[in-house]
């Protein structure tokens, strides 16, 4: 069975950056399962998997535009520490959710100078060229419910 829209696909993957540094891997865990054609994974990887089948392995280089987006300097803001609900929790590297319009961002605190806190709402992998090594380990038809929901139902999830 080939990977097309509406299939549930199981992959093992290793993700590295341009320098070869390991960013993420499914090694030692269950394979990642996703619904193909539903935008569950980044476009560059989803497109590369189209038509593949169980046993196929592929190396995919995904530019930021097809990954987590270009780095956007406008998504960096500086605010007063007192604007945080719990200033004691604010430290460099801390992450928190920010609602902006109908978008939800994960912000990372990047700098604290005096009472001013700078945070970055870019995805941590924005601007990064992604190198995926992928092995396709399963392809199956999605259930009607999964197709209706637009995502895979793992055992125990609703």
Binding footprint of Zn ion on the chain (CB under 5 A): 149
Q: Which residue is nearest to Zn ion (CB)?
A: 149
Q: In whole angstroms, how close is the CB of 34 to Zn ion at the nearest point?
A: 13
Which CB, 10 or 131, lies closer to Zn ion? 10
DSSP string of 43-75? Answer: HHHHHHHTT--TT-EEEEEE-GGGTT----GGG
**Cβ proximity to Zn ion, 105 vs 149, nearer residue:** 149
82 or 154: whose CB is closer to Zn ion?
154
Closer residue to Zn ion in complex, CB, 6/63: 6
Task: Name the residue among 29, 61, 69 with its Cα closest to residue 134.
Answer: 61
Nearest CA among 104, 140, 16, 81 for reference residue 152: 140
Nearest approach, Cβ of residue 35 and Zn ion (Å): 10
Cβ atoms within 10 Å, residue 151: 17
CB of 127 to Zn ion, least distance (A): 32
Query: With contact defined as beta carbons under 8 Å apart, do 71 and 108 qualify?
Result: no
CB 97 to Zn ion: min, Å: 22
């Amino acid at each position: 069975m080939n990977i097309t829209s509406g299939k549930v696909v199981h992959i093992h993957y290793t993700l590295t950056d341009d320098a070869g540094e390991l960013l993420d891997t499914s090694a030692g865990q269950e394979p990642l399962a996703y619904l193909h054609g539903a935008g569950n994974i980044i476009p560059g990887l989803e497109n590369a998997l189209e038509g593949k089948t169980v046993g196929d392995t592929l190396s995919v280089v995904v530019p930021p535009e097809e990954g987590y987006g270009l780095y956007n300097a406008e998504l960096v803001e500086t605010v007063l520490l007192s604007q945080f609900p719990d200033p004691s929790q604010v430290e460099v590297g801390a992450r928190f959710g920010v609602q902006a319009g109908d978008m939800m961002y994960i912000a990372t605190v990047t700098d604290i100078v005096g009472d001013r806190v700078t945070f970055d709402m870019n995805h941590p992998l924005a601007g990064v060229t992604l190198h995926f090594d992928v092995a396709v380990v399963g392809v199956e038809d999605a259930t009607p419910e999964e197709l209706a929901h637009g995502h895979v139902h793992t055992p125990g999830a609703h």
